[in-house]
Structure 1
Amino acid sequence: MNSHFLNGHYRILKLLNDGEKGKTYLVEDVNLPGSQFLVKQLSPPSSNPQTLIILRRLFASKAATLEKLGQEHDKIQKLIAYFEEDEEFYIVQEFIPGNPLSDEIIQDQTLREDQVINLLTEILEILVIVHSYGMIHRDIKPTNIIRRESDKKLVLVNLGTSNEAITNTVENREYMPIEQVNGNLKYNSDIYALGIVAIAALLGLPANEISNLRSQKNRLTGEIVWRNKNLKVNRKLAKIINKMVRFDYRKRYQYATEVLDDLKKLKNVEHEQQKQDQKKLLLVLTGVAGCIALGIGAWQLRLPKAVSDAQQKLYQEGLNKYEAGNYEGAVEDFNQAIELDPQNALAYNKRGDAYYRLGDYEQAQADSSQAILLNPQDANAYFDRGFAFSELGKYKEAIADYTEAIKLNSENAYAYYGRGLARAQVKDNKGAIGDFSKAIALKPQYTEAYLQRGILRRRLRQRLGAIQDFDTVIKINPSDAKAYYQRGLTQSINKQKYAALKDYTDAININPKYIEAYLNRGDVYSDLGDKLEATEDYNTILQIDPKFVAAYIHRGIHRFSFGDYKGAIEDYTEALKLDPNNVAAYNNRGNAYLELGNKKAANQDYSRAIAINANNALAYYNRGVIRTKQKNKQGAIADFKKAAKLFQQQGEQDSYQDAQREIAILQNNFGSVPTTRPKSGKREKN
């Protein structure tokens, strides 16, 4: 082993790790005697030549960025070089003498609050730099944070981007938020993982105990409940950590700089705040006791103060429960605060937020309305009510509220984004694009706004602009699987099938469970005549989700295309077992029955499709084909006329012409069936 060389000049000194994703070696560069580095071998998931070409492109691009990042910042592990050997990818990294943070987080030995604050501050400062390069670490955990021996500073190692480009997986998912597991990676996915590390440090939880922490979730909201009676943590620090680990990334801190700002405020006011909290509690107790003891005159003097302090205490307790994910408990506290002070607009506002998280959008809307009534200048209340209206499908009302929020705070990019989504729902496409553009102008790194603008541009056939938007998302975040997928859809529409294949494959490499990407890649393979590749993609979907109806329908269409009509019927039948009212499955199964000569079964399926959806033009057209074969001239003409009318209304000009042609043939020469008539009906996808 010691005599083996990698890339001709890296002599292996020791095998440090032999995992599923690859091996890690301690090596010496023989050209630089005495120098030690880490070399990681990254095994690609497939040896398919096309896949390897895509992986090489991704690997080289991302590794080059990592190399530049490490060279410019000394608290980020340096990437020295990268190379490929025998279809295996390798990265050469700086070897950092020191101890991982996992050595400091030991069972039942908690770190002090000031140590945790310093830990958070150091790593967040590094993340600000990493994110500014458009990169996401992906795998923040104690073993990837090294306390450097030379200066005792924390160094972030193993930036996961190059690893992910090749392997698609992260070995330890315990620190990962749900959106990362689902392939919807965000910058604040790193913030979530760091928040979990902070909780582990405060509780004294080693890595093998993190799964227990993740299981302690609020039953209704899914938020982690980590604070207990035995753990005394500064309320403001707990609030910061709770916001770091929110289940919904939209409710989490969006940027590392935001967390740093709150930590800085905490450091500045920590001791003074503790004194103020003690005074507030004392005032509540003495004020209430005094009101009971004194007469009516004194009551009038002391009651307002006592009530005010009591309701403030309840409001703060409600906020704490809200931040901890206990939304039902928060509602109870806000209820009591409102009973003591019915004019408390903030309590209505936050209770509305809690109801929103509990899925009670009607009550969320009602509370936001009351908050607005009490304080018409509260931009956040309009913003919140806009979200509630959107969830209730009241898009016009949502637009009005977002507009009011923007009037009160014209710098709120999220309000423009929300209004853009609502405007898109009511087909105000121009207004929606304007809102997404404004959100981007306010937040140039706002990838979701670029993504939604790109989707809308594609729908409006502004395909070049759409591709530019998706390109921008990928530039900002090269690991955004959705951007590759959406660009692939646009390439497909542009008939750029091989470009679409590359994009779908990139999306799948980033998120191996991206069902929609498999589905569309399978369709492109099918169109190109790549029978085995298409079948493999549809089969993969059904391995991931055996109840995904569209996969059966698309595989059925694929089987039909190369003459496996019985196999197609099996797939459509499976789809109908899962969704008995699926018009596409009936329509397409009718086509397969027709090819097998079973006109009766075909006619029944087309008629069922029409019974489910009387406006399904394809079913009328296909039943017209059957009736023509059955010599039912009047019935066939009636079906083709209905199909033609519906095609015309739907803007399907080619299909409209097909139906008109069939009508002309039947009316002029019913006895002969021209060879141009399709052998079977038109197919339909979900």
Structure 2
Amino acid sequence: MNSHLLDGHYRILKVLNDGEKRKTYLVEDANLPRSQFIVKQLCHPSSNPQSLTILRRLFRSKAATLEKLGHKHDQIQKLIACFEENEEFYIVQEFIPGNPLSDDIIQGQPLREEQVISLLSEILEILVLVHSYGVIHRDIKPANIIRRESDEKLVLVNFGTFNEAITNTVDNLEYMPIEQVNGNLKYNSDIYALGIVAIAALKGLPTNEIFNLRSQKHQLTGEIVWRDKNLKVNRKLVAIINRMVRLDYRKRYQYATEVLDDLKRLTSVDDDQQKQHHKKLLLILMGLAGCITLVIGAWFLQSPKPVSDAEQKLYQEGVNKYDAGNYEGAVEDFNQAIKLDPQNALAYNKRGNAYYRLGDYEQAQADSSQAILLNPQNANAYFDRGFAFSELGKYKEAIADYTQAIKLNPKNAYAYYGRGLALAQLKDNKGAMADFSKAIALKPQYTETYLQRGILRRRLKLIQAAIQDFDRVIKINPSDAKAYYQRGLTQSINKQKYIAIKDYTHAISINPKYIEAYLNRGDVYSDLGDKLEATQDYNTILQIDPKFIAAYTHRGIHRFSFGDYQGAIEDYTAALKLDPNNVAAYNNRGNAYLELGNKKAANQDYSRAIAINANNASAYYNRGVIRSKQKNQQGAIADFQKAAKLFQQQGEQDSYQDAQREIAILQNNSPPAPTTGDEARQPIHRRRFPIHRE
């Protein structure tokens, strides 16, 4: 393949990666026949002699450390050699025959719970050693975990040490925690990435689905919400993984040994239960059951105080664990407290909070209900049940609970905020606005309330007021990407396109994978006629998520706008492969076919759009144009009449007038008005639907 020998003796057998920032080859050593290695060429950003000297020293230092690691642990990819050639750095690594974990994580085919526990344990054992040497892997993901053919063990490969130190690039954002993106790398950044891998394995999510997972965040805590009712996973394992992927590294596990200890306790539960069972049997056989009963009875009759102390201790331990983010541990302590006193309303309330944090909203609602039954004056229980009802989609019930919580505690800003969210879901805009404003008055620094009020104000066409709310969020927290994005949407609606672009760009700088920001910035660029910029934004989205349908439909609209009708058809077709019921894609593809003179294909697409949505006015109108061209007067009139009726119902007066004029022309057999094109006398309705994820 290549006659050039790297470092004088490494012959390239295959190019594995030929990127701009990094090249990877499968090679053999010409001096060792049938030997295979991986060689990586690390492209540094500077040719300045002083910079090269610094990089050269750094390169050798890190290579020496990784070489030691490879010899210390059998499940770490060995560094064979490193060298420099033509001022480019190369590393030679062990080639490990086997399959990457990414081959095991197939969409819709999750790994079993015991497989995930084994995976976590194996990799964590490796990380204990890695971290003890002061090394952070930096790039843990399924592709960098190889199941070795020879013994089926997992091997950790492709340490990111050189990537960031030499090439100055940051990849793999799907698995990367925010502190690493911001350059504030921690040892537990590796723990976060491994936690995301575990979630992907349990849910059967390939890498291109991980970004969507990370965007599913709890509206109050901001933590990732990944467990749903259909996923049957041991709650203790859920708690461990949740602590691994906490957004704030300070609330995360700090050391790999801590995670290992919790996993070992998890796997030893069954053994402990078995031991307890045998112990009970032994007590019975020894005839001690009766004595125990007498002792316990006397204890209850003569000294009730120790029970109260034990109960209080368990409750407080549960609270402490809850505050530390150990929600599963908190549930266990509250369970014990409730066993000692089934009338303990506070324990039910706090256990419900812990279940809520674990994503078990039904159990949270049940515990809050029990707390209310035991103490109808418990404002927190009503408030907590309100949020559980909201997560379950029961907004009317949630509103009733928030209202009761406010009656019992009129100063609870979160209750007003929660009720505002529920009212907005039920389209009670006035009530929602009042609640958001009240929450702000009670807690002026709570940014989520400003954000939601700004979104609501925009819906109500209160543009300047909405912008003020987003301004306030940014003033409180300049790193809130959502606020910049929402302000950008509002500026776009306000026809301030260049200001909108600036806001979208700021949101992207904070969150480089903010798909909605790319999408809407691309739309604005397209409207401004900036062909290359718009195309680049749509392309970036599809690099992040190749299954993001809106990127195809929006890029299709953009291509249509500058006459690339075939390209537009390709995009709409790609969208329809992902969503065969996408009405907009059928309608817009029909427009493109019509521009190319393919009336038959256009007619089929409009008819499909109508079959999916009988209220699609644009499809009726466009099909009417085609039928008119085909001399199908009766069919054309019927389509224009249907379009006119729908346009009128939807308040689109100009479009209604267009359809009425077409009907008059056809009924009077009048010749069509002059046009600049051969295929249509009226502009075909082409609509785009920017995504506003609010």
Q: Same fold (TM over 0.5)?
A: yes
Q: Does 1:685 align with 2:689?
A: yes
Find the aligned partners of 2:249 and 2:339 in 1 and give their Cα distance.
Answer: 28
Find the aligned partners of 1:482 and 1:627 in 2 and give their Cα distance.
Answer: 46
- 1:503-542 equivalent positions in 2, closer than 5 A: 503-542=503-542
Post-superposition shift, 1:636? 1.9
Find the aligned partners of 2:327 and 2:565 in 1 and give their Cα distance.
Answer: 54
Q: Tell me the residue number matched to 1:211.
A: 190
User: TM-score, normalised to structure 1's length?
Assistant: 0.59
Find the aligned partners of 1:446 and 1:536 in 2 and give their Cα distance.
Answer: 36
Post-superposition shift, 1:475? 2.1
Q: Tell me the residue number matched to 1:610.
A: 610
Deviations 1:310-360 (A, max 9, x none): 554554555566556565565455445434432121232233223323433
Asked if the contact 1:291/1:302 (under 8 Å) is kept, the reply is: no
Q: Tell me the residue number matched to 1:577.
A: 577
Change in Cα spacing, 1:662 to 1:337, as seen in structure 2 (3 Å) is farther
Find the aligned partners of 1:488 and 1:394 in 2 and give their Cα distance.
Answer: 32
Post-superposition shift, 1:666? 2.2
Q: Tell me the residue number matched to 2:624.
A: 624
Q: Does 1:395 align with 2:395?
A: yes
Find the aligned partners of 1:17 and 1:415 in 2 and give their Cα distance.
Answer: 55
The one-letter code sitting in structure 1 at the alignment partner of 2:374 is L
Find the aligned partners of 2:57 and 2:499 in 1 and give their Cα distance.
Answer: 34
The one-letter code sitting in structure 2 at the alignment partner of 1:682 is R
Q: Does 1:475 align with 2:469?
A: no
Asked if the contact 1:622/1:682 (under 8 Å) is kept, the reply is: no
478-487 or 310-319, larger mean C-alpha shift:
310-319
Change in Cα spacing, 1:367 to 1:571, as seen in structure 2 (3 Å) is same
- 1:400-419 equivalent positions in 2, closer than 5 A: 400-419=400-419
Change in Cα spacing, 1:295 to 1:557, as seen in structure 2 (3 Å) is closer
- 1:139-288 equivalent positions in 2, closer than 5 A: 207=187, 211-212=190-191, 215=194
SS in 2 for 1:637: helix
Find the aligned partners of 2:454 and 2:521 in 1 and give their Cα distance.
Answer: 20
Change in Cα spacing, 1:303 to 1:619, as seen in structure 2 (3 Å) is farther
Asked if the contact 1:433/1:453 (under 8 Å) is kept, the reply is: yes
Find the aligned partners of 1:174 and 1:570 in 2 and give their Cα distance.
Answer: 28
Find the aligned partners of 2:579 and 2:372 in 1 and give their Cα distance.
Answer: 44
Change in Cα spacing, 1:322 to 1:534, as seen in structure 2 (3 Å) is same
Post-superposition shift, 1:532? 1.0
Q: Tell me the residue number matched to 1:452.
A: 452
Find the aligned partners of 2:392 and 2:249 in 1 and give their Cα distance.
Answer: 20
Post-superposition shift, 1:298? 3.2
Identical aligned residues as a percent: 79
Q: Tell me the residue number matched to 2:543.
A: 543
- 1:12-51 equivalent positions in 2, closer than 5 A: none
Length, aligned pairs only: 461
- 1:634-653 equivalent positions in 2, closer than 5 A: 634-653=634-653
Deviations 1:447-506 (A, max 9, x none): 221111111111111111111112222222222222222122112112122222222222
- 1:307-322 equivalent positions in 2, closer than 5 A: 307-309=307-309, 311-312=311-312, 314-316=314-316, 318-319=318-319, 322=322
Q: Tell me the residue number matched to 1:384.
A: 384
Q: Does 1:490 align with 2:487?
A: no
Post-superposition shift, 1:169? 9.5
Higher relative contact order (Cα pairs below 8 Å, separated by 6+ residues): 1
Q: Tell me the residue number matched to 2:112.
A: none
The one-letter code sitting in structure 2 at the alignment partner of 1:685 is F
Q: CA RMSD in A?
A: 4.3
Change in Cα spacing, 1:19 to 1:438, as seen in structure 2 (3 Å) is farther
569-578 or 615-624, larger mean C-alpha shift:
615-624
- 1:285-300 equivalent positions in 2, closer than 5 A: 292=292, 294=294, 298=298
Find the aligned partners of 1:644 and 1:367 in 2 and give their Cα distance.
Answer: 54
Post-superposition shift, 1:526? 1.0
Asked if the contact 1:457/1:466 (under 8 Å) is kept, the reply is: yes
Post-superposition shift, 1:656? 2.4
Asked if the contact 1:361/1:391 (under 8 Å) is kept, the reply is: yes
633-642 or 583-592, larger mean C-alpha shift:
633-642
Find the aligned partners of 2:659 and 2:687 in 1 and give their Cα distance.
Answer: 15
Find the aligned partners of 1:324 and 1:620 in 2 and give their Cα distance.
Answer: 59
Asked if the contact 1:552/1:575 (under 8 Å) is kept, the reply is: yes
Asked if the contact 2:176/2:193 (under 8 Å) is kept, the reply is: no
Find the aligned partners of 1:483 and 1:297 in 2 and give their Cα distance.
Answer: 62
Find the aligned partners of 1:609 and 1:440 in 2 and give their Cα distance.
Answer: 45
SS in 1 for 2:436: helix
Post-superposition shift, 1:605? 1.3
Post-superposition shift, 1:569? 0.5
Change in Cα spacing, 1:570 to 1:175, as seen in structure 2 (3 Å) is closer
Asked if the contact 2:243/2:326 (under 8 Å) is kept, the reply is: no
Find the aligned partners of 2:249 and 2:644 in 1 and give their Cα distance.
Answer: 49
Find the aligned partners of 1:346 and 1:461 in 2 and give their Cα distance.
Answer: 44
Asked if the contact 2:387/2:418 (under 8 Å) is kept, the reply is: yes
The one-letter code sitting in structure 2 at the alignment partner of 1:593 is Y
Q: Which runs of 5+ in 2 are unaligned?
A: 1-49, 59-130, 135-167, 204-213, 215-222, 225-239, 252-287
Change in Cα spacing, 1:304 to 1:497, as seen in structure 2 (3 Å) is same
Asked if the contact 2:554/2:688 (under 8 Å) is kept, the reply is: no
Q: Tell me the residue number matched to 1:97.
A: none
Change in Cα spacing, 1:664 to 1:173, as seen in structure 2 (3 Å) is closer
User: TM-score, normalised to structure 2's length?
Assistant: 0.58
